[in-house]
Amino acid sequence: MASFKLTEATKEDVINSYDFGLYQFGESQADNYHNQLEKRLNFLANNPYVAPLATGIDEQYRRAFMVQTLTITALQMKVY
């Protein structure tokens, strides 16, 4: 299994999106969204070339988006 590291900004976004989901939709929905996000991150770690390069940051970074209802989560990750 591949490993990955989230940028500090992305870590903060993940925490903030969980907190928002918890406040707006309850613990069950927040957990569900977080679990889906974790699955997406693991998929991207194992299949990094499905996400385009994050040009202008680092040649090893890639960008991916996850759309859940009206919430769009931008992910920046470095795959090792």
Range of the domain at 35: 4-79
C-alpha 71/C-alpha 18 separation (Å) is 11
pLDDT at 69 over 90: no
pLDDT digits (tens, 9 = 90+) for 8-56: 887 888 898 899 989 999 999 999 988 988 888 888 888 888 888 777 7
Number of structural domains found in the chain: 1
Amino acid at 54: A
DSSP-assigned letter for residue 25? H
3-state secondary structure of 43: helix
Q: What is the CATH number of the domain that holds 45?
A: 3.30.2310
C-alpha 23/C-alpha 76 separation (Å) is 25
